[in-house]
Each structure stands twice: as C-alpha cells, then as structure tokens.
Chain A
C-alpha cells in the first residue's frame, strides 16, 4: 500500500508527507527530534588500517559529524579484524566520552561471533531485503536477526535507549539477487522496511545509488528513488536515513547528490552519511561529505542530536549555533589519531 501510494505522488508530495512523520530512536543519544538531522561518520579504509581509520574518525568529529553512529565498513570479514575495529571506536568513545554509538558493518553472523567473544558491540548491522529468497541470498532469515537482536540487547550498552539494530536496504536488491518474483522494486523495498520494523531499529539506511545503473540509471532516478524510500520508510515508522550516493558507472555526479541532499533535508531525513571528501576509498563510490552535512545544517537550520551537540560545544569543536569553531590549540582529539 505504502509503495503504491508513493508511485502516485510527485516529489513534493513525498517530501510534504515525510516531513510530517515523527520517528525518534535512541541508544546513547536521541535521534529524529524535530529540526534535527544526524550524520553517520563513515571512516572506511581499504585495508582496515587502524591509524587510517582513526585519522578519518578524528576528521569527521572535528567537522561535527558522527551523531548517528561511527560506522565502519570493514574490508575484511575476519573476526580478529572486526574485534580490533570495534575496540578502536570504543576506546575513542570512552576516552572522550562521546555520546554516540559504534558499529562495524559486517554480516550478522560475524557480529554474533564477536558478541560471543566479548567484543564491545553497540549496534548489530545487517542488509535486509523484501523477499525471503533475497534475504536468503544475504545469508539471513528472521530467526538469525531475532537471535542477534536479543544478543545485542542483553549487553545493555545503550544509555538513553535500547534501539540496537542498524539495517541497510536499497531498491533493486531483490532483483539483483534474482529473488523479486516479478514484483516492482519499490514494493519490495517497502517490504524490507517491514522486516526492519520487527526489530525496532536505531537506524535504517537506504543506500540508494549504490546498486548501480542497471537498477537506477542516472541522477534523476536516484533522486526519485531516494525520496520514495524515505517517504515509505517514514510512513512505516522507520528511522529512515539515506546514503545519498552514486557509483562511477552511473550517470550521476556530485551536483545530483546536492539536489537529493537538499530535498531530503527538507523532507526531514533521520540521518545521512559523512565520508571524508565524499569519496569512500574502500567501497569505491561517492556519497556525502562532512562539508555537505554542514551545508544542510546551514541552509536549513538543522541541528545535531542534543547530547552530541552538547559534547561538541564542550570540546570546543562547535559553537552555540552549531557552526564549526576555529580549531582550539591543543585539541585533545588530535592526540588520539597520533597514538594509533
């Protein structure tokens, strides 16, 4: 129903309705309050090098990003590498008392193993899709998601809430897996939100332009899909964010990202990505940068999660208006990167 309605709506309708939806989620901070927008700090590195990742995290925090989550896509699926990355973010978070959450975006079965081994897991990540067969192609079913949800909740690491799941979706995933049963991309995308909804997630992210031009051909199609996904997710009560992005074989560029970023800002997007210079050097695609997030905050007056906003002021990184302050001499965050 939600997907069908989205197809009857113009872009302005998708924005108008989504803007009215209120979805609030909590773990170590409060996301989705009116007039707010969060950013996932995405400090990926092609070989998971701790010093490289720490440098990108510091860069993002100094630009006021990271309230949604500090979330690393690991290059390696190895459990030892995943554990090291989790400890890296957790060290930083504890040392500087950063009111945010961490995530290493690996397969749910790897996260379960990490929890078993005592790694500091805040959020469980998993890509989900809108058919059982497509989820099977991701190597998951509802039972394993339930198991992971229960395992993460049992750790009781959240301070202001217990939303522990981070899901990613995107139109075309079922088609790509040959698991679409002839159903259109957007209906299946809305069904993916129904999967997510079972687990009261902190974050749901449509990685809208990542799938490539076979599914969303150019900037215009990516823009439309991003607005549809955000609308459908919000209407289904999801804390809907968007990785506003494209790949280098799609007919799109950074101007298209500016357009979608601005429209989703107006629509009240829960969170966006913050990637250094918008260039993900591990996943090899372009998203939105820390600077892009500052642009939306400036033109639309969007503020950060309140706990994170307070922390940035306390660290002397941002001023009372949320603008990035001139760098403070002896900024302790810079020590962290040098010690890796």
Chain B
C-alpha cells in the first residue's frame, strides 16, 4: 500500500454529525488477534466509546489489583516453603516505615549485625514490595531454578524475608551480611492483568549510597510472563557477568539471549572463575 493523495476536507464543521445509532456495540473484525496477547485489544466500540462489557472487566481487574496491593506478606508460610524446599531457615528483616521501605528498622539492623556473618558471594532477599502475592508464589521456585546455574564454588548467603520493603533495602542488608552481590526478589507493582509479577534487582557490592543506575533488573517473573527457567538463566548470566565486570548497573548488558543461542547448556561461567 502507498499513501493515497486524497486530502481530508479542509472545512471544519462546528461539530461532527452524530454516529448512526446501534442497539449493540460493534465488534472489531480482528478479535482473532487476541490469541497473540493479553493486551485489551479488539474491544469493539459503540460510537467511539468502549462497550459496557470492556468497562466492567476493567473495573473488576482494577479492584483485584487494589486488593493485591493491600494483601500483607505471610512470612510464616514463606518460611515453611523455604525450609520444605531445602533452604536453611530464612532470616527476617523489617524496614523502618518512616523511610518508605529503604532502610532497616533498628531492631532488624542490630539483629543482622550481631550475626557477624561470614562473607558470601551472593545473598537473596525475598521482599513483599507492592505485591506480597508475587513474593509468596514465585520466589521459592525461582531460587530453585537459579542456584544450580551458579558456579559451584560460590558461597550463597542465608535467604532473607523482608517485609514492608522497597528495592534499596537490599543494599543495607547486603552490606551488613557482607555479600559481594545481593538480589532482591520483590513483588512488583500489580498491573490489571498481572497482580503477581516478581522483579529481580541485582546489585554488586551493596552499600547505602547506591542508586538505580547501579543495579540491573529482570522484570515480570511469573509463569505467564518470564517463566522461572528463563528468568533464572538471565539472573545467573548477569550475576556471573557482574562478578567478572566488578559492577552491576548500566555498564552490565543483558546479552543472555545471544549467550543462550551460542551455548544453550550451563555452565555459563569460565573455568577458574573464583
């Protein structure tokens, strides 16, 4: 097709003539494209407006997403799931709410400091963020997929469960527990179509004064989004790459898909990396 040289009418009417009346909303003849995406496409229209069905669906989804925001983390259930999955008993940490989830409360800080933890190569923190359900559902399986992909000589720190947490809380936890890298597994802001999406934030040499430019993020981890195995592959690729590069952030690029094409089987790390 090429553009057509028909010009639109240059005279502007005071108001467009009314749309022809119809008893029902007109469907779009491309409804079959819905099989390719969960996006709200081919909704149809009545005049220029959304049909009532689409409006009601949206309202229900919004209410469900609001519920997801307000559902608290069930730390006891997560604790049990971790132990059942063969991880040691997790540590608990709470944020000081006054700082909107970015700093530990004094009791948690003292407790973690008192551990005098042995240095570790990577530390995983499971955090509620804005969707406790995401952390509750996806964190343990994601860890199970990730650990076998890491170099066998890496020391993995104790898993933490953090409540009322935002991403930056991992920096303080990582510093206290002497982690070379910290990964926050945190509930992302619920969307209308995905109330349980988990985000992975990776930070090398965690300390208090870092910003988002110092991190790498893998988003939308859930079976309907980025499935566990693929997310774990990306995470291991970035962790190993960050170790080699000596930092995370904008300098660390995610070329894991190319790596997957070249070498589909783990191990991804060069021999002798320590």
A residues neighboring B (CB under 8 Å): 35, 43-47, 49, 51-56, 58-59, 62, 75-81, 95-97, 99, 107, 109-110, 113, 136-139, 177-179, 212, 214, 247-249, 253-254, 276-286, 289, 291, 294-295, 297-298, 301, 303, 306-307, 309-311, 313-315, 320-324, 326-327, 331-332, 334, 337-338, 340
Contacts and interface: CB of A to CB of B under 8 A. Distances in A.
Interface string B242-263: 0000000110011111100000
B86 interface: no
A281 B193 contact: yes
Contacts of B253: 77-79, 110, 113
Interface of B: 1-9, 12-13, 15-17, 19, 26, 28-30, 33-34, 36-43, 45, 47-50, 54, 58, 61-62, 65-66, 68-69, 100, 130, 188-194, 197, 211-213, 219-220, 224-226, 249-250, 253-258
Contacts of A76: 254, 257
B220 to A, nearest CB: 5
A248 B3 contact: no
B220 A75 contact: yes
A80 B257 contact: yes
A122 B191 CA distance: 30
Nearest to B45: A291
B3 A310 contact: yes
A301 B48 CA distance: 13
26 contacts: A35-B12, A52-B38, A54-B36, A75-B220, A78-B256, A110-B253, A139-B249, A177-B211, A248-B189, A248-B190, A248-B191, A254-B58, A254-B62, A277-B39, A278-B40, A279-B40, A280-B191, A281-B39, A289-B40, A291-B45, A291-B48, A306-B8, A313-B8, A314-B4, A323-B48, A332-B1
Nearest to B62: A253
Nearest to B65: A248
Given A276-B43, A314-B5, 17 more contacts: A45-B37, A49-B37, A56-B41, A59-B33, A79-B255, A80-B257, A96-B1, A97-B2, A137-B212, A247-B189, A277-B39, A277-B54, A284-B192, A286-B62, A289-B40, A315-B4, A320-B8
A208 to B, nearest CB: 16
A282 B189 CA distance: 11
A34 to B, nearest CB: 11
B8 A178 contact: no
A309 B66 CA distance: 39
A80 B258 contact: yes
Contacts of B193: 279, 281
Contacts of B49: 291, 294-295
B108 to A, nearest CB: 21
Given A137-B211, A323-B19, A284 B58 contact: no
Nearest to A107: B250
B254 A77 contact: yes
B190 A284 contact: yes
Contacts of B58: 254, 277-279
B39 A276 contact: yes
A45 B193 CA distance: 11
A63 B137 CA distance: 38
A136 to B, nearest CB: 7
A294 B223 CA distance: 35
A320 B173 CA distance: 62
Most buried by B among A249, A280, A284: A284
A109 B250 contact: yes
A145 to B, nearest CB: 14
B3 A314 contact: yes
Nearest to A334: B30
Contacts of B40: 276-279, 289
A132 B120 CA distance: 34
A285 B188 CA distance: 11
Contacts of A291: 43, 45, 48-50
A314 B6 contact: yes
Contacts of B100: 214
A277 B3 contact: no
A87 to B, nearest CB: 15
Nearest to B41: A59
Closest 6 CB pairs of A and B: A277-B40, A314-B4, A284-B191, A52-B37, A139-B250, A294-B48
A297 to B, nearest CB: 8
Contacts of A284: 188-192, 194, 197
A244 to B, nearest CB: 16
A279 B16 contact: no
Most buried by A among B17, B40, B49: B40
B69 A46 contact: no
Contacts of B6: 310, 313-314
A139 B253 CA distance: 13
A283 B191 CA distance: 8
Contact of A51 (B36, B42, B43, B47): B36
Contacts of B13: 321
A311 to B, nearest CB: 5
Contacts of B9: 320-321
A334 B42 CA distance: 12
A52 B100 CA distance: 36
Nearest to B193: A281
A334 B36 CA distance: 13
Contact of B16 (A298, A309, A313): A298
Contacts of B26: 326
Contacts of A278: 40, 58
